[in-house]
A = this chain, B = another copy of it.
Amino acid sequence: MNGLGGRAATINDVAVAAGVSRAAVSKVLRDAYGVSDSMRERVTAAMTELNYRPRVAARAMRGRTFTFGIELPDFSNQFFTRMLTGALQALEETRYQVVIAPAERGSRYGLRAIEALVDRQVDGVVAVAPRATPESLERIAAHTPLVMFGRHDTSDDYDTVAGDDVAGAVLAMEHLLGLGHTDIAHLTLPEADVDLSSPHGLRRTTYLSTMAERGLADRAVIITSDEGQDAAYRATAQALSDGLRSTAIFAAHDELAIGALRAITEAGRTVSVVGYDDVPIASYPGIGLTTVHQPGVEMGVRSIGLLLERLDGRTEAVHEVFDPELIVRSSAKAV
């Protein structure tokens, strides 16, 4: 195949084939200063000939890997997919590549996956891990630039990119209140009342305070569901059959909202629903979910931007907040 006995070519093989030193090959590789055209030519030819590919691991031992890591908790949530689209887009013209690590479910809230990335010497990490402790994240940020997506804490060591969840929750609630609803329930995840500063925590708190402000505190009801459309369906169906009297539900995100809509439809009830995120399917006519849009793509672009700035020498932490926007569709109607 290449006269190397089936083993992949190394920089040394290229050097020998081109009749130059390893250092010369390395320079061509990184197109560093000080290589003549003739040398570059011979080396490039040898590389093609031997089908040479530099090993990132070997390179990693000396310096940059030109790889960013992105940790994600949930691929079925299309909001994260949008963020990913933005991140990839921002990297298109750079020499950086991306690897994604999925958070193991039930593990320490994505921390293991972030560490897996760091162990692989990525040059920076964008992570979604609302439940990780600031300490554990700061330990990581001490060695590797870290952008936390969807966190509202303001560490000195890592940057954050988040939506304004208080403003978003207010948009959702005002819309329902404006429609005349007074019995509004909130459908959210179990973690929402543990991590008060997580997106879901803030949405929940804002829901409660808005209800209280309007003197509706005693009509507030929180429905708790596990992650996923199916779980939300079951939780809502259960609440409905348990005699839920709310005429509207503010769901903590669209997946949950869609599960709720399904339960409501099947129960033959009329309950207005507002979601959060504006995932693609929300606009489907058969669903028509009124929801709070978050600029996921832009947020992904900015996350990578923050990483690149860090690599460029910035040392002060930056905490970026993006504005949400209410998208009115058919799933929320006047009482």
Contact = CB atoms under 8 A, between A and B. Distances in A.
Contacts of A258: 281, 284
A262 interface: yes
A6 B142 contact: yes
A11 to B, nearest CB: 13
A281 B281 CA distance: 8
Nearest to A284: B262
A33 interface: no
B61 A118 contact: no
Interface string A1-42: 100001010000000000000000000000000000000000
Main SS at interface, chain A: mixed
Tallying the copies of this chain within the complex gives 2
Interface residues of A, number: 51
Nearest to A7: B143
A101 B99 contact: yes
B81 A76 contact: yes
Contact of A287 (B65, B139, B284): B284
Contacts of A261: 286
A93 to B, nearest CB: 11
A102 B88 contact: yes
